[in-house]
Amino acid sequence: MLLFCPICSNLLLTEFSSTCLRLSCSTCPYISRIKKKISERTYPKLKEVDHVMGGSEAWKNVDSTDAVCPTCNHPKAYFMQMQIRSADEPMTTFYRCCNPTCNHNWRD
């Protein structure tokens, strides 16, 4: 909630005086004591986020290659390429370990 000075229309500043909180203008002598709490909290509802890579459906029917998993050292990994930067940048290769107990994802 923004409060503005009724005299000069500048933004009022909150300051502590010896007896109370008050709103004061930085350009004119206007001062107003704060008589009630003027803050409130509202929390936005978070949107449901989809998986960036398309979830598990995106990894169906992809090819595999010889790439060593950095987590379990399995010698094979599934891969797919996506353009995640501008068109003049090279495509990014994403890997997923072929070991069903690992399924570690990484990119090159």
pTM of the model: 0.51
One-letter amino acid for residue 2 of the chain: L
**97 among annotated binding-site residues:** yes
Q: What's the CATH architecture for 55-107? A: Single Sheet (2.20)
Residue that the structure tokens 């909180």 belong to: 21
Q: Is 72 annotated as contributing to ligand binding?
A: yes
Q: Establish whether domains 1-41 and 55-107 are of one fold.
A: yes
Residue-level pLDDT at 7: 92
Residue 69 assigned ligand-binding role = yes
Q: Is 8 annotated as a binding residue?
A: yes
- Residue ranges covered by each domain of the chain: 1-41, 55-107
Q: Is 20 annotated as a binding residue?
A: no
Any binding-site annotation on 102?
yes
- pLDDT value at position 108? 82
Fold classification of 1-41 (topology level): N-terminal domain of TfIIb (2.20.25)
Q: Can you give the three-state secondary structure of the chain, one letter per residue?
A: CCCECCCCCCEEEEEECCCCEEEEECCCCCEEECCCCCCCCCCCCCCCCCCCCCHHHHHCCCCEEECCCCCCCCCEEEEEEECCCCCCCCCEEEEEECCCCCCCEEEC
Average pLDDT along the chain, 108 residues, taken 10 residues at a time: 84 84 90 78 80 71 90 92 87 89 87
Q: What is the pLDDT of residue 61?
A: 84
Give me the pLDDT at residue 46, please: 83
Is 28 annotated to bind ligand? Answer: yes
